[in-house]
Structure 1
Amino acid sequence: MLKRLLLPFLTVVAFSGAAHAQSQDASTPDGLVKAVVSDVMTSVKADKDMQAGNIGKISALVEQKILPNANFQKTTQIAMGRNWSKATPEQQKQITDEFKTLLIRTYSGAIAQIRDQSVQFRPYRGSPDDTDATIRTQVINKGEPIQLDYRLEKTAQGWKVYDINVLGAWLTEAYKGSFNTIVGQQGVDGVIKTLQDRNRQLANAKN
């Protein structure tokens, strides 16, 4: 279940094609998304090992180019919903850390599929005073358009992505139902255990 819900988030970058955004201004939300997509695609297309699923290189790429531009604590907090306040600070940290680990471990399969996809960015008409923004895009994969929207928050460290919309479904909302069910049955520790178990499965599959 968790892998199925996570894959759309992973394919956002894996299927986002060359955006021709090398000179984009990353201080704006649309500029940041375009710049990150372009940077990741350039790196992957130049490295056959990553295209073949090399987990070490992919992990380094994610750590260097994607995670600094994402706010996974906010993503996790929204996905946990009312259950976030039931978790202790240590549990909150564990859930957020396991979520990031799951992203990196699962990412190898998605990034290996990068080929000739392209992305179209819809016009962004935000105000300089905005602190929250939605960047709407459409990925063309073998002629088929896939809706992919990014939700970002302006922080003291700049704009950060905290949610993804795939074909009309926000990632945090998909996770919210899954996490809520697990907490109802097993408590907050159940979410941690579920994420840890999935991470172990993925780690063993790579060995």
Structure 2
Amino acid sequence: MKKFLLSLCLMFSVLPALAAETAKAPDALVREVSDDVLAIVRQDKAIQSGDTRRVITLVEEKVLPHFNFRRMTMLAVGKDWRQASPEQQGKLVDAFRTLLVRTYSNALTQYRDQSIGYKPAKFGDADASVRVQTEVRQAGAQPINIDYALEKTTDGWKVYDVVVAGVSLVTNYRGTFAQEIRTGGVDGLIKSLEQKNRDLAAPAHS
């Protein structure tokens, strides 16, 4: 699980400018920005010393604008999304977004010497939904495959799912979310997510 979270952190790190140039293929954008961003992470002493607030700020400023958290939340909640009111849907998106940011910001402080390799592109210029395939490499360990699902929008390419070692991020949450809804309804899921976020935020205030 630690490797899973750290790999997803790298996903957050290498995609800060996907929407900057919509004319370029998404794999080219990932390749171009990854070296610069990883260099920043390696050199940031605050991140290396475990400053979670610093990581959260970095993620919020450079990464979040390029993710479609509404679609990610819809996919994670699944068929139960339709029974949620617009207000509940908004709370679910906010809570899920915060959960991902806090979870992976905490783990990103463990980043050290990983590198990223890129696999040949398997999509056409006209495709509106694509998958960018990469792998995280670290000395003494097997590479971890990470695929990014992106869609072309009027605001540029947006990430709506990440598949780590064959496991979809949104699908990974779907079973847990469905159980929470069966137990306490949509409001129960919202309360559960908000509690997880409070728990994750606690170390930052210690």
- Normalised by the length of structure 1, the TM-score is 0.86
Unaligned runs of 5+ in 2: none
Q: Out of 169, 172, 176, which is 2:170 matched to?
A: 172
Q: For residues 101-137 of structure 1, give each alpha carbon's deviation from its aligned partner in whole angstroms, at most 9, with x where no partner exists.
A: 1122222332112211111110113211101001111
In 2, Cα distance between the equivalents of 1:108 and 1:33?
Answer: 20
In 2, Cα distance between the equivalents of 1:18 and 1:59?
Answer: 15
Partner of 2:39: 42
Q: How does 1:87-102 map to 2 (within 5 A)?
A: 87-102=84-99
Q: How many residues align?
A: 200
Unaligned runs of 5+ in 1: none
Q: Secondary structure at the match of 1:187?
A: helix
Which sits farther off after the overlay, 82-91 or 35-44? Answer: 35-44
8 Å contact from structure 1 (residues 132, 154) kept in 2: yes
Partner of 1:153: 151
Q: Secondary structure at the match of 2:162?
A: strand
Compared CA separation, residues 187 and 51, structure 1 to 2 (3 A) = same
In 2, Cα distance between the equivalents of 1:47 and 1:195?
Answer: 30
RMSD: 2.6
Compared CA separation, residues 16 and 147, structure 1 to 2 (3 A) = farther
Q: Secondary structure at the match of 1:40?
A: helix
Compared CA separation, residues 191 and 61, structure 1 to 2 (3 A) = same
Partner of 1:14: 10
Q: Out of 126, 130, 133, which is 1:129 matched to?
A: 126
Asked if residue 205 in structure 1 is aligned to residue 203 in structure 2, the reply is yes
Q: Secondary structure at the match of 1:144?
A: coil
Partner of 1:138: 135
Q: Give % identity.
A: 40
